[in-house]
Structure 1
Amino acid sequence: MHTFFPRTLSRSDIKSWIKAGDTPVTRTLKGLYFGTRNFSFPVLQPLHKGLYRTHLGLSGLSQWLTRAVYWTPLFQSRLTKPASGLLLYSGMPQVLGDLDITIGRDCRISGQSTFSGRASGSQKPVLTIGSNVGISWQTTINVGRQVSLGNNVRIAGRTVLSGYPGHPLNAEDRAAGLPDTPDQIGDIILEDDVWIGSGVFIGADVRIGARTIVAAGSVVTKDLPPDVFAGGVPARIIRKL
């Protein structure tokens, strides 16, 4: 006997039946779906503009309260000492491993950042952030021994500072779950007023001199002097500032 509906009524079966079917029922259902998919209530300018402003105000108030009462005090408790004027936004940075963190005055740090300390070393990793530093979204700072950011440093989104790789070079040791080796570990120093563009990778044993700018997408594997604009893979000096 012919039936309009498939024998099984799982969601995927019904969806496939409607999309592939060419019966009056499936054509009606498809018409209803496409007719209502993009439907929205007509815009009433005074009403919806007022609702939009109210939404922004309530959302901003909620974010401020969450930041001031919850995220910032929790993160401050993880620091070696409270950081005056600290502004967290979009949540609280993730901190992994045993790591000493010191932050100066008036810093702005995205809550989508990650700070990690090497767990297998005998020396406790130290992350030092100067004053008036900006660390943007999805930045990762992996501290092998020491990572130091000077005053007025700017780090754009999706940047990685990697003072340790997390795995050894030897494939058998890596498969066995052994940690990285001491020769793979190094400090990273960003002197005052350095500006790092989006998506930059900075490896271990790298010092970037004061006021230097690193272009977006660069890979920094060697020291850069002060007052230069650098970029590329690997990064090289493009011109003096």
Structure 2
Amino acid sequence: MAGRALFSLLKSIRNIEMPVIKPVHGYLYHQHKMLTGIISSLCRILYWTPLFKSRLANTPRKLYLYSGMPLLLGPLSITMGDDCRLSGHTTISGRASAQTKPELKIGNNVGISWQNEIFVGNRIEIGNNVRLAVKVRLVGYPGHPVDPAARARGEPDTDDQIGSIIIEDDVWLAAGVTVMSGVTIGAGTIVATGSVVTRDLPPGVLAGGIPARVIKSLDLPSESNNG
């Protein structure tokens, strides 16, 4: 009985709530957002962005790096264009067993949203004006061999399992898209949410599904009309 009473008391204490005084707590909320925003901006400008740029092969202009710094794993050569936006909740990994340093090339005006995973087997190229929505995965290498005995011994993947990924200009990969190794996605193509791209896609189409297939052609404006 005493134990049960004590448990009930602790549970009631755990569930105690502070009454909400909207004018007061509303004001405190806005002050909190302003203060954390200032601190976040200072960290981005003075700390995270310079640290991340120190890992790049070049020095891009107007890089907007938000929510911290991406997790960088393994050997990597990264080149990034100007005017890019990159979430700190991104993982970029280079194949550790590669004979040459894996290369990631990112074009100008690229947006890479949060929880993206970019696994570079030998080379991944992302063109200009590309948009990678949330939880996009570019899988240039699998990390484990096909042979179960080799997997059990902890051996790495084999060279025939890896491949380049080429994403041409103006591509939009929607949320949760996975692109496998050896794939090229043509310019202006949109890949629908949750799709898995296992083979090349032509330019200027809407594709989707598992595996992704062309759904329809897109009526894209020509360069002459844009000029």
TM-score relative to the length of structure 1:
0.85
Q: How does 1:67-216 map to 2 (within 5 A)?
A: 67-216=44-193
SS state at 2:50 partner: helix
Letter of the aligned partner of 1:101 in structure 2? I
Specify the SS of the correspondent of 2:138. Answer: strand
User: Partner amino acid for 1:114?
Assistant: T
Aligned letter for 2:191?
Answer: V
Moved more, 51-60 or 164-173: 164-173
Distance across 1 between alignment mates of 2:50 and 2:161:
35
Instruction: Work out the CA distance in 2 between the residues paired with 1:235 and 1:131.
Output: 26
Report the CA distance between 1:34 and its aligned residue.
4.8
Aligned residue for 1:236?
Answer: 213
| Alpha-carbon offset, residue 223 of structure 1 | 0.2
**By how many angstroms is 1:114 displaced?**
0.9
Counterparts of 1:48 and 1:175, CA distance in 2:
56
Letter in 2 for 1:129: I
| 3-state SS in 1 of match to 2:24 | helix
Q: Distance in 2 between matches of 1:222 and 1:29?
A: 62
Instruction: Measure the CA separation in 2 of the matches of 1:165 and 1:135.
Output: 21
Q: CA deviation at 1:178?
A: 2.1
Bigger CA radius of gyration: 1
Letter in 1 for 2:213: R
CA distance in structure 2 between the partners assigned to 1:169 and 1:182 by the alignment: 11
Question: Which one of 184, 196, 202 corresponds to residue 225 of structure 1?
Answer: 202
Query: d(CA) in 1 for partners of 2:11 and 2:96?
Result: 54
Q: Tell whether 2:19 aligns with 1:42.
A: yes
Give how far 1:151 is off. 0.7
- Residue 224 of structure 1 and its aligned partner are, at CA, apart by 0.3
Distance in 2 (CA, whole Å) between partners of 1:212 and 1:43 is 49
Structure 2: unaligned runs, 5 residues or longer:
219-227
Tell me the alpha carbon deviations over residues 65-91 of structure 1, each in whole angstroms, 9 at most, x when there is no partner.
111111111000000011211111111
> Offset of 1:30 from its aligned partner?
4.9
Q: In percent, how many aligned pairs have the same letter?
A: 56
Distance 1:113 1:30 in 2: 43
CA 176–31 in structure 1, closer or farther in 2 if over 3 Å, else same: closer
Q: Which runs of 5+ in 1 are unaligned?
A: 1-22
Question: Structure 2 vs 1, CA of residues 35 and 168 (structure 1 numbering), >3 Å: closer, same or farther?
Answer: closer
SS state at 1:32 partner = helix
TM-score (norm 2): 0.91
